Amino acid sequence: MIEAPEDTTDASETLQGSLADVVALLGKHRLVEQLVHKQDMPRHALVESLVHKQHLAELQKRLDALHPADVAFILESLPLEDRLLVWNLVKAERDGEILLEVSDAVRETLIADMEPAELVAATEQLDTDEIADLAPDLPEEVIEDVFQALSIEEREQLRAAMSYAEDSVGALMDFEMVTVREDVTLEVVLRYLRRMDELPDHTDQLFVTDRQEQLKGVLPIGRVLVSDPDALVSDVMGTAPARLHANDGAETAAQAFERYDLVSAPVVDERGKLVGRVTSSAVIDFIREASDADVLNLAGLREGEDIFASVWKSAKNRWTWLAINLVTAFVASRVIGLFEGSIEKLVALAALMPIVAGIGGNSGNQTITMIVRALALGRMQFANARALLAKELAISLLNGVVWGGIVGVFAGLLYGSVSLGLVMTAAMTLNLMVAATFGVMVPLLMSRFGRDPAVGSSVMITAITDSGGFFIFLGLATLFLL
Amino acid sequence: MIEAPEDTTDASETLQGSLADVVALLGKHRLVEQLVHKQDMPRHALVESLVHKQHLAELQKRLDALHPADVAFILESLPLEDRLLVWNLVKAERDGEILLEVSDAVRETLIADMEPAELVAATEQLDTDEIADLAPDLPEEVIEDVFQALSIEEREQLRAAMSYAEDSVGALMDFEMVTVREDVTLEVVLRYLRRMDELPDHTDQLFVTDRQEQLKGVLPIGRVLVSDPDALVSDVMGTAPARLHANDGAETAAQAFERYDLVSAPVVDERGKLVGRVTSSAVIDFIREASDADVLNLAGLREGEDIFASVWKSAKNRWTWLAINLVTAFVASRVIGLFEGSIEKLVALAALMPIVAGIGGNSGNQTITMIVRALALGRMQFANARALLAKELAISLLNGVVWGGIVGVFAGLLYGSVSLGLVMTAAMTLNLMVAATFGVMVPLLMSRFGRDPAVGSSVMITAITDSGGFFIFLGLATLFLL
């Protein structure tokens, strides 16, 4: 067995290990604290206070050795009291980068624990685009102080960075690009680079600009290395596979990075002037957060919860959705109420009606998911909506005959009534067709009216297929069975 | 207005533009085809056949200028007939890279249209890790022919690449890493790099290995550029922020790239030998596919559908889930069946029962989403499950009192019965607590038994809260109201 270099991180193991160590050290610390408090023996107090301090010192050493993202992970994994204890052990100059890494919910708890002066100090180590990311969570006085401490160029950048909408390319952008002129030799470029202490992270290419800061092309670092040093930049540079605009949606950047396998991409303004760059790490963070938000939205949660958040805070996060669903459930209940007379006469209807509503909801959600995807990928304008609707209707007819048929036979046998079975099959088929129609139309109409079809279409389709399913089934039964 | 360099891509505009051009050219082509077929005038036939060819030539020129990922997008956006026409216009040597880019469903349709010899030729331009990605869709005879054409080293790589599980680090890995020894100077490294025509994509760092191919460290390209050329590699190299193992889950890689802002990461075997690397572009593709799969699974779709797939194919994609839901709906229906006598006596129960079931399902899905997230992020073992269960139960008690109370008052007023209102409130509260309990336990148990808690827990919780909700409400009503 060969030893790994000492401080290399094995991605799969070390993080859980660090968390376990921190928890163990916290445990020792708490134990000593309890002893000191409970026993209250003056003779031992001094010794225990020393041991106590030793554990905290050990913990601090451990934390100092960890990557900011790993400290963030540990903070997120601890209950509030332990979290703040660990947070106060973190070196002040690392506060900023760790605040950037923690989730929004946890960041709030940490910032609430800090003095304004500490917060101002925390931002001092950060780039302007990073300060812009923190800004929404900072008290106004802190932002003003931070602003005063910046150079004119930085203020300009911060103002720009804070002006972009949350899910825009501008919000992903940073300003750490290296630019060169096209009329110099690679030799000159190499000398220029050597004068820097290090290149900014994710510098896979230099941006070639003219005196008006117009983007003329890009110069991949690899090409600087392998080409003749006497060659001119203009001979070696290429065109950027993708140029982004600061006001484009961040999803545009994500698609460009996915499609063209980018590490960085230039961002230009409407006149072609280079204003910043987007890196793969900003894109990865965006994609993860966006997909997380999708899953949370589908489950009816407003935002990610700190798992140690209070009951009250968690409940509020979940109420909007529960309230909306109660309203739609109430509407469905009133639809059933219309047919109470029929149910009294044929109580089997009460037992069978949830099946009709359920299959409509499931099938409608399947259709909606397909359409929302097609819209997100920009396929819908060409894939004729009418053709898609026809296809979804055909699928629901097929499903209605097959699954509705099976359920109809079961229901008919169970209640000894052929006509009840037939009504069941007919109602399921009709509700599946309602689901297909609205499943295609709801996201299309939402997107036509400029709303994000991914948010809320699922609630709407379920509301429609519930009330619709009850109405169709109980209505058909009233007409044909009573 | 300043002109952009001619072939620079504006990420937001060009792709839709290309698609529109292709569709327009296809339209002209089809129009001519129709004219030729309908009119059948010999005098015009020759002219039209020329025009016809001209459109196709223009289309081909257009396609040749596009990035493979953009051709893939166009192929995915066209109905089958047009898709195959465009596919046959694509230069044979680009077939491989385009097949890599299209979605699984569309890839099937393209491969079905190709001769074995064409498929073998298509793989010739690909790296072994890319061939491994295509392999599951290729006929066995093609794979054998491809295998024969490879060098011994490449066969080894292909065998290795094909041996990894679908969502493992090995499946994301490529073999295009540049390695150097630690006892040479940067000058030597620079000379070595200059001998290459170009560096592999995403080469942000060189991997430092010894004679046994043990990974000793990494040498960022930026550091090669800015450091003294006489320095030794061993003096300048650093340790990799994360080392991956080929058998780790791909999610480990995604988390490492997100956490440490990586562009590439070394993959080592259990003895620390460097076997490959993972790049940010493989990680971005993985994250996108994984989040896509999450959304599809939540909606009950087995896989992404080609929107132009046949009705039959689409229906099969959706049946598993519909069948499972019909079974659970049938069980819920039988639970209601148990209480038909009670419903006959008090028909209001039929109208109110879906509300009880519905709120339980919504709340249970919220809880499950929180727990699945906590499990995925590795937080659960420390966040005491009992504490979380207590918190979720407290939230459901709160929700039961608030929302159950509101609905109870409404129901009581509507049906003029205080006791009916009270039963409604009690049933909603109890079902919310059932939802909380199973919402915490189902994903924990699934994960304990080694299953992915993200798949299927939503179906299970809905089944439990439906049947449970009907049972609790109708049971309480039977006990206290009749």
A198: which chain B residues are within 8 Å (Cβ-Cβ)? Answer: 222-223, 226
The Cα B405–Cα A152 span in angstroms is 58
End-to-end CA distance of chain A: 81
Is B156 in the same domain as B23?
yes
pLDDT at A6: 41
B330: which chain A residues are within 8 Å (Cβ-Cβ)? Answer: 355, 407, 410
Q: Is residue B142 part of a domain?
A: yes
Q: Determine, for residues B343 and A348 on separate chains, whether the beta-carbon distance falls below 8 Å.
A: no
Nearest CA in chain A to B396: A315
Q: Determine, for residues A365 and B300 on separate chains, whether the beta-carbon distance falls below 8 Å.
A: yes
pLDDT at A48: 61
Q: Determine, for residues B239 and A7 on separate chains, whether the beta-carbon distance falls below 8 Å.
A: yes
Other beta carbons within 10 angstroms of residue B201's beta carbon come to 16
- Total domains, chain B: 3
A292: which chain B residues are within 8 Å (Cβ-Cβ)? Answer: 373
ipTM rounded to 2 decimals: 0.84
A325: which chain B residues are within 8 Å (Cβ-Cβ)? Answer: 358-359, 362
Q: What would the mean pLDDT of A355-383 be, rounded to a whole number?
A: 86
Q: Which domain holds residue A430?
A: 311-481
B69: which chain A residues are within 8 Å (Cβ-Cβ)? Answer: 258-260
Q: Is A15 helix (H, G, I), strand (E, B) or coil?
A: helix
Q: Is residue A225 part of a domain?
A: yes
Q: How many Å lie between the alpha carbon of B306 and the closest alpha carbon of chain A?
A: 9
Is A282 in the same domain as A353?
no
Cα–Cα distances (Å) from B298 to A92, A296, A465, in that order, read 43, 11, 18
Nearest CA in chain A to B259: A69
Examine the fold and report which residue of B243, B273, B298 is the final residue of a domain before the chain moves on. B298
Q: How many Å lie between the alpha carbon of B115 and the closest alpha carbon of chain A?
A: 27
* Residue with tokens 């939402």, as numbered in its chain: A446
Q: Is residue A372 part of a domain?
A: yes
Nearest CA in chain B to A6: B239
Of B7, B197, B263, the CB nearest to A239: B7
The Cα A354–Cα A427 span in angstroms is 12
Q: Is A472 helix (H, G, I), strand (E, B) or coil?
A: helix
Query: DSSP letters along A78-113, please?
Result: S-HHHHHHHHHHS-GGGHHHHHHHS-HHHHHHHHHT
pLDDT at A35: 57
Q: Is residue A468 part of a domain?
A: yes
User: Which sign does the torsion angle of CA A337, A339, A344, A347 carry?
Assistant: negative
pLDDT digits (tens, 9 = 90+) for A267-322: 999 899 999 999 999 999 999 988 888 888 877 787 778 877 888 888 888 898 89
Is A374 in the same domain as A271?
no
A383: which chain B residues are within 8 Å (Cβ-Cβ)? Answer: 77, 79, 307-308
pLDDT at A384 over 80: no
Is A106 in the same domain as A229?
no
Examine the fold and report which residue of A142, A165, A188 is the final residue of a domain before the chain moves on. A165
Nearest CA in chain A to B336: A351
pLDDT digits (tens, 9 = 90+) for A101-118: 998 889 999 999 999 999
Q: Which two tokens stand for residue A79?
A: 């209950």
A192: which chain B residues are within 8 Å (Cβ-Cβ)? Answer: none
Is B423 in the same domain as B320?
yes
CATH number of the domain bearing residue A223: 3.10.580.10
Nearest CA in chain B to A265: B11
pLDDT at A5 over 60: no
Size of interface A-B (CB pairs under 8 A): 402
pLDDT at A279: 96
CATH number of the domain bearing residue B428: 1.10.357.20
A38's CB contacts (< 8 A; 6+ apart) are: none
A261-275, A353-367, B12-26, B304-318: the lowest-pLDDT one: B12-26
Examine the fold and report which residue of B298, B332, B354 is the final residue of a domain before the chain moves on. B298
Q: Is residue B173 part of a domain?
A: no
Q: What would the mean pLDDT of B180-185 be, rounded to a whole number?
A: 96
pLDDT at B96: 93
A477's CB contacts (< 8 A; 6+ apart) are: A339, A342, A346, A349, A420, A423, A427
The Cα B80–Cα A230 span in angstroms is 52
Of A226, A256, A388, the CB nearest to B307: A388
B283: which chain A residues are within 8 Å (Cβ-Cβ)? Answer: 284
Of B258, B305, B403, the CB nearest to A370: B305
Q: What is the residue-averaged pLDDT of chain A?
A: 88
- Report the C-alpha dihedral over residues B68, B72, B73, B74, rounded to 10 degrees: 100
Residue type, B447: S
Is B39 in the same domain as B75?
yes
Q: How many Å lie between the alpha carbon of B141 and the closest alpha carbon of chain A?
A: 31
Question: Which of B289 and A383 is assigned the larger pLDDT?
Answer: B289
Q: How many Å lie between the alpha carbon of A204 and the closest alpha carbon of chain B?
A: 7
B217: which chain A residues are within 8 Å (Cβ-Cβ)? Answer: 5
Q: What angle do CA A442, A446, A447 make, to 5 degrees?
A: 120
The model carries a pTM of 0.85
pLDDT at B112 over 60: yes
Half-sphere exposure of A229 (CA within 13 A, CB side): 10
CA of residue B122 relative to chain centroid, distance:
25
pLDDT at B399 over 90: yes
Is A263 in the same domain as A363?
no
Helices (H), A42-167: 42-64, 68-77, 80-89, 95-101, 104-112, 116-123, 128-134, 140-148, 152-163
B105: which chain A residues are within 8 Å (Cβ-Cβ)? Answer: none
pLDDT digits (tens, 9 = 90+) for A41-88: 455 556 666 667 788 888 898 899 889 998 998 898 888 888 999 999
- When scoring B3, B314, B428, B461 by the number of chain A Cβ atoms within 10 A, the one with the most, hence best to mutate, is B314
Nearest CA in chain B to A462: B358
Nearest CA in chain B to A403: B323
Is B141 in the same domain as B186?
no
Of A253, A382, A407, the CB nearest to B19: A382
B252: which chain A residues are within 8 Å (Cβ-Cβ)? Answer: 11-12
Q: How many Å lie between the alpha carbon of A91 and the closest alpha carbon of chain B?
A: 19
Q: Which two tokens stand for residue B228?
A: 């003294």
pLDDT at B320: 87
Q: How many Å lie between the alpha carbon of B204 and the closest alpha carbon of chain A?
A: 7
Residue B349 pLDDT level (bands cut at 50, 70, 90): very high
Q: Is residue B3 part of a domain?
A: no
Q: Is residue B39 part of a domain?
A: yes
Q: Determine, for residues B259 and A222 on separate chains, whether the beta-carbon distance falls below 8 Å.
A: no
Q: How many Å lie between the alpha carbon of B42 and the closest alpha carbon of chain A?
A: 35
Q: How many Å lie between the alpha carbon of A197 and the closest alpha carbon of chain B?
A: 7
Burial bucket for residue B411 (CB in 10 Å: 0-12, 13-18, 19+): buried
The Cα B83–Cα B109 span in angstroms is 9
Nearest CA in chain A to B1: A271
The Cα B189–Cα B185 span in angstroms is 7
Of B70, B199, B362, the CB nearest to A222: B199
B359: which chain A residues are within 8 Å (Cβ-Cβ)? Answer: 322, 325-326, 329
- When scoring A100, A193, A236, A295 by the number of chain B Cβ atoms within 10 A, the one with the most, hence best to mutate, is A295
Quick one: which of A124, A75, A76 has its CA closest to A96?
A: A124
The Cα A436–Cα A28 span in angstroms is 60
Q: What would the mean pLDDT of B201-227 be, rounded to a whole number?
A: 93
B285: which chain A residues are within 8 Å (Cβ-Cβ)? Answer: 258
Of B16, B300, B407, the CB nearest to A326: B407
Q: Which two tokens stand for residue B149?
A: 């054409």
pLDDT at B194 over 80: yes
Q: What angle do CA B143, B98, B62 make, to 5 degrees?
A: 145
The Cα B267–Cα B243 span in angstroms is 6
Q: How many Å lie between the alpha carbon of B107 and the closest alpha carbon of chain A?
A: 16
pLDDT at B4: 37
Q: Which two tokens stand for residue B78?
A: 């066209």
Of A284, A399, A466, the CB nearest to B257: A284
Is B142 in the same domain as B201?
no
pLDDT at A1: 30
Q: Which two tokens stand for residue B369?
A: 């989403």
Q: Determine, for residues B226 and A194 on separate chains, whether the beta-carbon distance falls below 8 Å.
A: yes
Q: What would the mean pLDDT of A338-354 be, rounded to a whole number?
A: 95
pLDDT at B13: 60
Is B133 in the same domain as B191?
no
Q: Is residue A7 part of a domain?
A: no
Of B11, B337, B340, the CB nearest to A243: B11
CB burial string B205-227: b at 16+ within 10 A, e below: bbbbbeeeebbbbbbbbbbbbbb
Helices B250-260 & A280-298, crossing angle to 10 degrees? 120
Is B317 in the same domain as B363?
yes
Is B123 in the same domain as B35?
yes
Q: Determine, for residues B5 and A217 on separate chains, whether the beta-carbon distance falls below 8 Å.
A: yes
Q: Determine, for residues A202 and B263 on separate chains, whether the beta-carbon distance falls below 8 Å.
A: yes
The Cα B412–Cα B425 span in angstroms is 10
Q: What would the mean pLDDT of A96-104 be, rounded to a whole number?
A: 92
Of B263, B340, B353, the CB nearest to A347: B340
